[in-house]
Structure 1
């Protein structure tokens, strides 16, 4: 299986031996060895799931990287976070995906509620299986634990991903951005309750 590691906090290196991974199109910055790169519309989920991603706006411009040696990925000097999956399902903001194992499956699930007029937050990309997924973040990613006794509310612009047995809801008419002089638009929070981990970034998109 390919070995995903941080070359530094803003660059991913993947060591491969005639293997295949999916990565964000245009994110390859260098490689050592023999590789080929091809555009991919499937992304490890099959044709039906690729069509669903396109229809819901969760489409991800992907490429297939195959070969032997070491390949390096980066995107706009954002920080790279390597997350191993042991059969778990990770719910992730699609714009945060950088690269992942061929063995990892992707899909799109509906997360919206009635009253939501903004497209943001309606659909979420899932990655699931045995393998590794790498996520991009503005600044160091922060993992916050959620317990049944301690739910968590998150600004949707800071949300990266979550895993575990969590329920996601929307809370509307929250005006904290108005307090600090930002144009709030349609203001809402993402509320997580249950048992699991939520990943956020210390910045807004």
Structure 2
């Protein structure tokens, strides 16, 4: 059989996280370490791999409560074994970020996979539970390791400098530098602004100040996975 389709063969390489193409992640596992991925994100795998549910490690009562609360924000599975697994989410664009003791805040809906060496905790945004793209809590990641994000389309990265504001539609903001100050504000005086879909208003926006950057996707909708109905 002859077809251009057959040219889309699997890539090779030893990097743990690599893009097979802009919408497909290739993860190489060596049998000695694991990765965490969003449940249901596996589309194919080669080799002897296991996929099991993930629960946070145990600790003191307070630590366990915090871990259970933070774990609930991400529905994760553990990928282990020796081989290659391919991850995707409805053809969204994927981005591999390598953190080296940096801190980054990410809207939880946009996380696809991460190294187990990373730490994270929830970050609350006042009234965020009324905003579709932000939610009531976001995640601050820290430590050293790789974090894979997904966006609807190719994103825009906006620098933030002291003394100036950068604004992003609350339904389009993917993440930001954790050192930034963030304010949630209405873009309209309309009392129904929070129900932006179906109205002529712009709804809510996030205002950022400080020094860092903001990542925005070219879409004012939630990721297509598990869109809530209201």
Pairwise same-fold verdict (TM > 0.5)? yes
3-state DSSP of counterpart to 2:65 = helix
> What's the C-alpha RMSD, in Å, of the aligned pairs?
2.9
The unaligned stretches of length 5 or more in structure 2 are: 1-13, 222-230
Label 1:164 to 1:52 Cα distance change in 2 as closer, same or farther (>3 A).
closer
Q: Distance in 2 between matches of 1:181 and 1:130?
A: 39
Residue 6 of structure 2 corresponds to: none
Q: Distance in 2 between matches of 1:7 and 1:77?
A: 12
Q: What is the aligned length?
A: 198
Q: Which moves more between the two structures, 162-171 or 182-191?
A: 182-191
Once the two structures are superposed, the pairs formed by residues 68-83 of structure 1 within 5 Å of their partners are: 68-83=82-97
Matched, 1:62 2:112: no
**Superimposed CA distance per residue, residues 17-46 of structure 1 (whole angstroms, 9 cap, x where no aligned partner):** 112010000101111221100011339997
| Larger CA Rg, structure 1 vs 2 | 2
Higher strand content, 1 or 2: 1
Indicate if the aligned counterparts of 2:140 and 2:178 stay in contact, CA closer than 8 A. no
Indicate if the aligned counterparts of 1:108 and 1:125 stay in contact, CA closer than 8 A. yes
Indicate if the aligned counterparts of 1:42 and 1:49 stay in contact, CA closer than 8 A. no
Q: Distance in 2 between matches of 1:112 and 1:139?
A: 28
TM-score normalised per structure 1? 0.85
Which of 95, 103, 108 is 1:94 aligned to? Answer: 108
3-state DSSP of counterpart to 2:153 = coil
TM-score normalised per structure 2? 0.76
Residue 140 of structure 1 corresponds to: 154
Once the two structures are superposed, the pairs formed by residues 1-205 of structure 1 within 5 Å of their partners are: 3-18=16-31, 19-42=33-56, 47-53=64-70, 59-112=73-126, 118=130, 120=132, 121=134, 122-174=136-188, 182-183=198-199, 187-205=203-221
Indicate if the aligned counterparts of 2:105 and 2:178 stay in contact, CA closer than 8 A. no
3-state DSSP of counterpart to 1:165 = coil
The unaligned stretches of length 5 or more in structure 1 are: none
Indicate if the aligned counterparts of 1:172 and 1:188 stay in contact, CA closer than 8 A. yes
